[in-house]
Structure 1
Amino acid sequence: MTDPEADVLEGVVILRQDRQLAVLQQTYPGWHITHDPLLGHWAAIRRAPLTSREKEGGVKYTITHPAPEALSSALACQVELAHTYRPRHRS
């Protein structure tokens, strides 16, 4: 027999993680974001290939963190960094 409270608590955790994943995906559409509940890893893979300038500037293609808050912070830094090293348009 299983403990009904354990099932409810497990469901709450899953719902929170699903909500966090949805928020990350909506906030950073340029990244494919996943969560592995078994390993507890949060990962982001950039959808667009990196330019040479971005690579030289330290922009990453993949990022992993154990917590969604850390991944969000890292993605915010990457978005700002990518903006700095985006291709320049000639006028």
Structure 2
Amino acid sequence: MTTPQHLPIGTEACRAVQQLAVLRTTYPGWEIHRILDSPERATWTATLRREVTPIMRSDGVEQHVERPDVPSLASALAHQVALLHNHRALKRPAS
């Protein structure tokens, strides 16, 4: 595994590794990767670690999310976490 300490300070690769670590820590329920499409372009992906049921899907929960950059992936994941939270809250029996 590559860590920021093994890369030259200030490089794009170092920043990407740090961003990946933050995303993985912030969203542990998702498997998150940065895929290099070309030397100039990367795609950030996240796959939910649990199966999405048809009901969850109808509530807007996605199994896999892809975005072109970290801010848009983080925003999409925050939205997905809110949807998952709402889905779970609706399933709780009333007290």
Q: Same fold (TM over 0.5)?
A: yes
Structure number with bigger Rg: 1
**Residue type of the partner of 1:17?**
A
Structure with the larger helix share: 1
Q: TM-score, length-normalised on structure 2?
A: 0.78
CA deviation profile, 1:3-55 (whole Å, cap 9, x unmatched): xxxxx68x710000000000000000000000013441000000011123211
What residue number does 1:4 align with? none
Q: Provide the alpha-carbon RMSD of the alignment.
A: 1.9
Partners of 1:67 and 1:56 in 2: how far apart? Answer: 26
Q: TM-score, length-normalised on structure 1?
A: 0.81
Please list every run of at least 4 consecutive aligned residues from structure 1 whose deviation after the TM superposition is greater than 3 angstroms.
Answer: none
Larger RCO (alpha carbons 8 Å, 6+ apart): 1
**Residue type of the partner of 1:84?**
N
Q: Where do 1:12-91 residues align within 5 Å?
A: 12-39=11-38, 40-86=42-88, 88-90=91-93
Question: How many residues are paired up?
Answer: 83
